[in-house]
Structure 1
């Protein structure tokens, strides 16, 4: 089933605030990407994803701090499951995280493991806490660069368009027992899902429109 989704408002420019540190720094992992990979303005092809905590703004300060800590620990575990700790680059916005995996990872291997790991780790985390954490997530591939204020490139913008889209917000709101809703970018769908590395029947095509940008994406609920 195809849906036409229009998203109002601006995405906030062509960068995400962040310093390009390796994932998990907030939880204690201190490794960093090689200096050459952090050169300002250098674009590299990467698989990236954004996760955003649903209802974060409605929590009090202590609950927000706890959720941010839990999300950081969860993503550290996910990256360990992927086995790609070197040159993983991340930006932290409190209720959301942006992560880009190393250049050259095999998306046909990484994407199935990524989705399975996030679902499993989130389920384990929620079984240990009263405050249920629910996530919106967007995944895609493209060129990523760095600038004085953080990540640059169309992939960064597109991932935020997807994760903030009406389709994901409605999906999580309309399915109260769902803890994770996902949009996969069309290029990644063509590379991984269409050839059968994931079951195509699990994904629904939607159309995301933001100002001059219109393009398909693929929705999955967990």
Structure 2
């Protein structure tokens, strides 16, 4: 992740950004159930590259961590004048990484750096001055976690873009959490929004004359009861109540 327009700040503002950014990221991580002290982090002023091991919680990184990060930024910026706001470009990618003597090595690291400099991220923040955060997922992350149905996010929350930075060219998926819908297309790539699965038609409620549909009649013989003890992780679940009247 990288802070937008950092170079336009004076010395005092740059120092403030470098002080506040890691603390904000730490709070967002704790809110999502992570401890960034366990991550390998390469710091560079207003930019951080964090590497964490694969442990099965990757969907939560894409979903919960980004949500908490957006909330932390919103709170941080709430009382600030526009030029003092902290706005971030954030990228999530996955792949093999080697710890080297001067940082991290590997094609996944290079790809992450190229994605972070994607024009689509800059354009998204420029087009939406009210937004504090723009997120870009690599195609692999998007298909593994979002399209795979492992998060509470919808595929329609993202816009497909083509990132071409230096020698790197690949599709990626853009999201601006402050917006209800995916951001508008840009000229830097094929940005046709991708919608989720079509919603199945639902039968209309039963009319007074007994038309087919959902019945509101009480049917004790059709009641199913599930007893659960202890906490239940129901993130992404959908619960329905009622009778089909069959």
TM-score by length of 1: 0.73
Higher gyration radius (CA): 2
Per the alignment, in what secondary structure is the counterpart of residue 115 of structure 1? helix
Distance in 2, Cα, partners of 1:81 & 1:166 = 30
Contact between 2:3 and 2:88, CA under 8 Å: does it hold in 1? yes
Which residue number in structure 2 is paired with residue 167 of structure 1? 120
Which residue number in structure 2 is paired with residue 41 of structure 1? none
Matched, 1:67 2:20: no
Distance in 1, Cα, partners of 2:92 & 2:110 = 12
Question: Could you give the per-residue CA deviations for residues 51-93 of structure 1, whole angstroms, max 9, x where no partner exists?
Answer: 1111110111111011111111101112212323253111111
Contact between 2:160 and 2:174, CA under 8 Å: does it hold in 1? yes
Count how many residue pairs are aligned between Structure 1 and Structure 2.
Answer: 172
Q: What displacement does 1:146 show?
A: 0.9
Question: Could you give the per-residue CA deviations for residues 146-204 of structure 1, whole angstroms, max 9, x where no partner exists?
Answer: 11111111121111111111111112112211111111011110111102322111100
Question: Could you give the per-residue CA deviations for residues 85-120 of structure 1, whole angstroms, max 9, x where no partner exists?
Answer: 253111111111111223314222332111111101
Gaps of 5+ in 1: 1-50
Matched, 1:201 2:151: no
Per the alignment, in what secondary structure is the counterpart of residue 136 of structure 1? strand
Matched, 1:107 2:41: no
Gaps of 5+ in 2: 178-246
Work out which of the residue numbers 97, 121, 124 in structure 1 matches 2:75: 124
User: By percentage of residues, which structure has more strand?
Assistant: 1
Distance in 1, Cα, partners of 2:29 & 2:23 = 10
- Structure showing greater relative contact order (alpha-carbon pairs closer than 8 Å, 6 or more residues apart): 1
Which residue number in structure 1 is paired with residue 101 of structure 2? 148
Contact between 1:84 and 1:101, CA under 8 Å: does it hold in 2? no
Q: Which runs of structure 1 show a deviation greater than 3 angstroms over 4 or more consecutive aligned residues?
A: none
Which residue number in structure 1 is paired with residue 169 of structure 2? 214
Work out which of the residue numbers 69, 81, 87 in structure 2 matches 1:134: 87
Question: Could you give the per-residue CA deviations for residues 3-40 of structure 1, whole angstroms, max 9, x where no partner exists?
Answer: xxxxxxxxxxxxxxxxxxxxxxxxxxxxxxxxxxxxxx
Distance in 2, Cα, partners of 1:103 & 1:76 = 19
Question: Could you give the per-residue CA deviations for residues 121-156 of structure 1, whole angstroms, max 9, x where no partner exists?
Answer: 111111254421111111111111111111111121
Distance in 2, Cα, partners of 1:77 & 1:109 = 15
Q: CA RMSD for the aligned pairs?
A: 1.5
Per the alignment, in what secondary structure is the counterpart of residue 96 of structure 2? strand
Question: Could you give the per-residue CA deviations for residues 35-54 of structure 1, whole angstroms, max 9, x where no partner exists?
Answer: xxxxxxxxxxxxxxxx1111
Distance in 1, Cα, partners of 2:12 & 2:137 = 32
Which residue number in structure 2 is paired with residue 10 of structure 1? none
